[in-house]
Amino acid sequence: MTGSSEQEPGHAPDRRLSIAPMMDWTDRHARYLLRLISRRTLLYTEMVPAQALWHGKAERFLAFDAAEHPVALQLGGSDPAQLAYGAELGAAWGYDEINLNCGCPSDRVQSGRFGACLMAEPALVAELVAAMRGGTSLPVTVKTRIGIDDLDEYRHLARFVETVAGAGCRSFTIHARKAWLHGLSPKENRDIPPLDYERVARLKDDFPELEIVLNGGVKTLDEAETLLERFDGVMIGRAGYQTPYLLAEADRRIFGLSAPAPAREAVARQYMDYVARELEAGVRLSRMSRHLVGLFQGLPGARAWRRHLSEYGPRRDAGVDVIAEALEHVAVPAMPASA
């Protein structure tokens, strides 16, 4: 299900603030929740294998709710024809941007010759970007690392960006850590390689005509606002999922909107309406309620909220009442009327 909202699909999205594509986390249910908190933050799908779309699994991977706009489709692959087809499908389904994954370090992704290992083949990535741009009029962007293994000097990153930009890519999201493709797990690659914001800043200095979005280690809007003085955009990863309410002030602080931030309880109750619809369509509650766990992080009752969702959400007969009951642990009671 696709459609339009305040951000018309097909128009270049505002990338000043975005939430990173994260496997097993940023599915359509999580994105719907995040959109209830921020109207303008750009959201990304989980990485979708272009090969899966090539073999006819579009409905499974591409379905999303119109309310999610602006939303970008991230593709993974190394076959120009498959990626061009995936970009074409993404446009047909109503996405606002097509992004190529050149940063994932997992063994499974490497075995398919895509993800971070593509940093070693900038000419191939340029060919992939050119093919994707041939399949859609949507913006085609690239998300990558600052380096991999022994290809971790600035000159390697600059050559990669220059080569890929030559194929028409104007926006790069740079995860400011290198990736060790051998010796570190994907989880370790998210934390162990040190952050190097200065390398990404140098990239922006050397390529001022390109849009450079910084990713890696950003946990608060305060940090994002500071970094926006140096970069065109900031992408938040795990913090945006684990503590989603940090986005509550994003529309005002980052995008200049005047609408007040939504209350957490109001977000939960709006999400309950969505959950009720999805339950009718046969979706299990646990697939949706798991994204709510961090909504009340840091508030009294947050632990009981998490515990209730985790204990009762996975039950086969679980319904929207599980969320309502969890809310009793954190909801502020109404003030009694004065005499």
- Residue 122 near residue 116, CB atoms below 8 Å: no
Q: For the purposes of burial, counting CB atoms within 10 Å of the CB of 337, is it exposed (0-12), middle (13-18) or buried (19 or more)?
A: exposed
What share of residues in the chain are helix, strand, coil (percent, to 5)?
45, 15, 40
Q: For the beta carbon of residue 253, count every other beta carbon within 10 angstroms.
A: 15
Residue found by looking up tokens 């390398």 in the block: 199
Is 169 catalytic? The answer is no
In the set 102, 104, 117, 169, the catalytic residue is: 104
Residue with tokens 């975005």: 18
**Is the previous residue joined to 80 through a cis bond, with omega within 30 degrees of 0?**
no
- Tell me the two tokens of residue 32: 């719907």
**Owner of token pair 């602080």:** 253
Alpha carbons 328 and 76: distance in angstroms, whole number: 42
Give residue 304's identity as a one-letter amino acid code: A
Residues 6+ apart with CB under 8 A from 81: 54, 131
Residues 140 and 132: beta-carbon distance below 8 Å: yes
Give the residue numbers annotated as catalytic, written as ranges.
Answer: 104
